[in-house]
Amino acid sequence: MTGNTLLSVEDVIVDLPTPRGNLRAVDRVDLTVGTGRTLGIVGESGCGKTMLSRAVLQLLPKKAKLSGRVMFDGQDLLQLPPEKLRKLRGRSLAVVFQDPMTSLNPVLTIGTQLIETLQEHLELDDATAKKRSVELLAAVGIPAPEQRLAQYPHQLSGGMRQRVAIAIALSCEPKLLIADEPTTALDVTIQAQILDLLAREQRRRHMAMIIITHDLGVVAGRTDEVAVMYAGRVVERAPTPALFKRMRMPYTEALLAALPKLDAAPHTPLPAISGRPPDPTRPLQGCSFSPRCRYAVARCQSEKPPLEAAETSAHQFACFHPIETHADANA
Amino acid sequence: MMLQSAPSVSSEALLDVDNLVVEYPVGAKIVHAVSGVSLQIARGETLGLVGESGCGKSTLGRAVLQLRRPTAGRVLFDGQDLTAMQGDALRLMRRRVQLIFQDPIASLNPRRKIGDIVAEPLVIAGVKDPEKRKQLVHEVLTAVGLDPTLVVGRLPHEFSGGQCQRICIARALILNPEFIVCDEPVSALDVSIRAQILNLLEEMKGRFGLTLLFIAHDLAVVKAVSDRVAVMYLGRLCEVGPSEQLFARPAHPYTALLIEAIPVPDPDVRPTETVPVGEPPSPIAPPSGCRFRTRCPRADQRCSDEMPELRAVAPGQFVACHHPLI
Ligand SMILES: Nc1ncnc2c1ncn2[C@@H]1O[C@H](COP(=O)(O)OP(=O)(O)OP(=O)(O)O)[C@@H](O)[C@H]1O
Ligand SMILES: Nc1ncnc2c1ncn2[C@@H]1O[C@H](COP(=O)(O)OP(=O)(O)O)[C@@H](O)[C@H]1O
Ligand code: SF4
Ligand code: SF4
Ligand SMILES: [Mg+2]
Ligand SMILES: [Mg+2]
């Protein structure tokens, strides 16, 4: 990676005990994010994206078991006392969730929530904190920001709520913002606005960002690097242009193919990925994608493909039979 | 507006919605959810309906099915006015029309077994023979790609979102309807499962000879399954036209905006930052004239003085705009 490494996730495993047995939500994930860079994490529902981001934030469910190392800004987060962690979160490490109500308090006005966050981390007096709050709301595209300070979250639309959640996340100038499906619950037009907003603020603040999504379309023009997750593992990882130029992992190719194409005629059947990801409490011996993979051979069922680069490049994939060329993929 | 349809479908209108108005009273105020919408759907056709959250898509779909009685306007289904129907006549008619919801999990009763959920329309329709019901449930579950023996005895929470949507589709199909309103059937689903469900709907449409009103907020999804597309904004139609034509040459500024907002999976296509900031105005006090004018880059005085009516701009393509793009 170029530049300084801000976040490094090393061999992270998240295990969750369930009535059906142990559920490995995240399985030996390694990732890095450089200062000011953007990483996209893509994968289907249930593949471990949220658990991975919660592992980074140290916001896992109580019963979860975490192993590995999470280094952020020179500190080992797993070793940090809870008090210091709390300080870090909201200050240099911020998060925006899919459902803005997860991070907003329904009984407090937007103004109170913004001002409290600012004062907790930045020691501002009331007047300055209020002024900053208005500026932040204006920056995230909320009209009439002064009036909004007195409103409650339920008085806003979903898009507006997400803007407020972003304003709060940005309020203390974080070094890293984790956006976990920030637009999945929103309309396409509002989605475009929110993604533009995040990109603009990121550039302005030279902040690093992780965007989590199930839609490859969302990460294409907006990230430096993409990691594709499947069944808890990273199965392909590459600089964004390289990934879209030449996908190697059949799962990534299948995810892309499943998107409706703008240039296809109506009623063109979509190449759907058949079936579903495996039950995470019943891990497969071989490649987790093998039951759904059209390139699978016997070896795929018995052996787990490691995540590695074929050439001396940054492009890694976990597959015994990577797709050779893009032309092949379309054949 | 003239009836327009893709060449492959017959031009007989199964559904003819005429100047439909739906208003919700809230306190002393009125939400103008649907304000004078007219559209036709030919037998065997899929009409896509797109628009942002809150623009009135679901309200329109529910009013068409008389699940919400419209304030004004007519809904002709196979020549009969549903808005004038009551009691038994309406109940009989309801067998021919069905609704599939956006949130598949929430639309299934969590305490009932899948077999009972899917059989429920049969019970309501008076199919008394339990063996007959069982057989029909098995047939329809198989048709939507589920294994009846593994499914009928289980509860909704044991299924994923995609599987619940298959169950909802099975329930909608069991009375062999002619017309289905699909209200954002894939919005809550992942990209991969979304493709499965879209393919399933297409397959079922062919197999059961269905006519569909397909509601979504994602134009790319709508285009994949629709012969024609209607674009809605704040209770009114902006544009109606054949899917491909509408994509290639949108006439309404709002249609162009929706097309621009679709994320393209190509890193060389830099997302344009031209989407106007802000959200639709409140339907309690919609803007005068053209309702889109507060966000429209082309708006002028005329747009606030005068409401644009739908008019033809190209064969089969109609737009409600004083300054269309084509
Ligand atoms: N029962 C109701 N009482 C009052 N207002 C309502 C009611 N149902 C809907 N509305 C309002 O009517 C307008 C249209 O709502 P509708 O649900 O039809 O929109 P939609 O286009 O389906 O939106 P979405 O994409 O979010 O599903 C909105 O402003 C909504 O808040
Ligand atoms: N609180 C929890 N307790 C037990 N299992 C959970 C919990 N949260 C998530 N899981 C499981 O962990 C796996 C990964 O989930 P998640 O990280 O939420 O996936 P994603 O964000 O990619 O959709 C899934 O199998 C999910 O069912
Ligand atoms: S390892 Fe085998 S099953 Fe897995 S993705 Fe590659 S070809 Fe498919
Ligand atoms: S009528 Fe005017 S405001 Fe409305 S879409 Fe056309 S140009 Fe824009
Ligand atoms: Mg998640
Ligand atoms: Mg709706």
Look at residue A1 and tell me whether its pLDDT is greater than 50: no
pLDDT of residue A2: 47
Three-state DSSP class for residue B163: helix
Residues A242-254: tens digit of each pLDDT: 999 999 999 999 9
Distance of alpha carbon B81 from alpha carbon B70, whole angstroms: 12
Which CATH superfamily hosts domain B2-96+177-187+209-319? P-loop containing nucleotide triphosphate hydrolases (3.40.50.300)
Sheet holding A5-18, edge to edge: A21-34, A5-18, A65-72, A75-76
On average, the pLDDT of chain A sits at 91
Q: Identify the closest residue of chain B to A47 by CA–CA distance.
A: B190
Distance of alpha carbon B67 from alpha carbon B158, whole angstroms: 29
Domains belonging to chain A, first-starting first, are: 5-92+174-259+274-330 (3.40.50.300), 103-171 (no CATH)
Evaluate whether B301 touches B294 at the Cβ level (below 8 Å).
no
Chain A hits for B54, CB-CB cut-off 8 Å, are: 157
* Residue of A233, A240, A235, A282 whose CA lies nearest to A254: A235
Mean pLDDT of A212-232: 95
Look at residue A138 and tell me whether its pLDDT is greater than 60: yes
pTM for this model (two decimals) = 0.87
Residue B31 in contact with ligand 1 by CB distance below 6 A: yes
Distance of alpha carbon B142 from alpha carbon A309, whole angstroms: 43
Residue A23 in contact with ligand 2 by CB distance below 6 A: yes
Evaluate whether A159 touches A143 at the Cβ level (below 8 Å).
no
Look at residue A24 and tell me whether its pLDDT is greater than 80: yes
What ligand is nearest to the CA atom of residue A98?
5
Three-state DSSP class for residue B103: coil
What's the gap in Å between the CA of A64 and the closest CA on chain B?
22
B267 contact A CB<8A: yes
Q: Which region among A128-142, A190-204, B307-321 has the lowest average model confidence (pLDDT)?
A: A190-204
Strand A233-239 versus strand A93-96 pairing type: unpaired
Distance of alpha carbon B311 from alpha carbon B322, whole angstroms: 10
Look at residue A257 and tell me whether its pLDDT is greater than 70: yes
Angle between helices B130-143 and B161-173 (to 10 degrees): 130
Across the interface, of B161, B219, B271, the residue whose CB is closest to A221 is B271
> Any residues with CB less than 8 A from the CB of A291 and at least 6 apart, and which?
A275, A278, A284
Show the low-confidence residues of chain B (pLDDT under 50): 1-10
| More confident of the two residues A329 and A187 | A187
Strand A38-42 versus strand A225-230 pairing type: parallel
pLDDT of residue B158: 87
pLDDT of residue B80: 94
Residue B303 in contact with ligand 4 by CB distance below 6 A: yes
Atom number of ligand 3 nearest to Cα A297: 2
Helices vs strands, H then E, count in chain A: 12, 12
Share of chain A above pLDDT 90, in %: 70
Distance of alpha carbon A36 from alpha carbon B24, whole angstroms: 48
Look at residue A326 and tell me whether its pLDDT is greater than 70: no
pLDDT of residue B243: 96
Q: Is the ipTM, as predicted for this complex, more than 0.85?
A: no
Atom number of ligand 3 nearest to Cα A321: 7
pLDDT of residue A329: 43
* Residue of B63, B48, B53, B40 whose CA lies nearest to B202: B48
Residues B253-289: tens digit of each pLDDT: 999 989 988 888 888 876 665 555 566 788 899 999 9
Widest CA span in chain A: 68
Distance of alpha carbon B231 from alpha carbon B249, whole angstroms: 14
Buried b (16+ CB within 10 A) or exposed e, A228-244: bbbbbbbbbbbbbebbb
Look at residue A320 and tell me whether its pLDDT is greater than 60: yes
pLDDT of residue B272: 63
Evaluate whether A227 touches A237 at the Cβ level (below 8 Å).
yes
pLDDT of residue B202: 96
> Any residues with CB less than 8 A from the CB of A105 and at least 6 apart, and which?
A113, A153
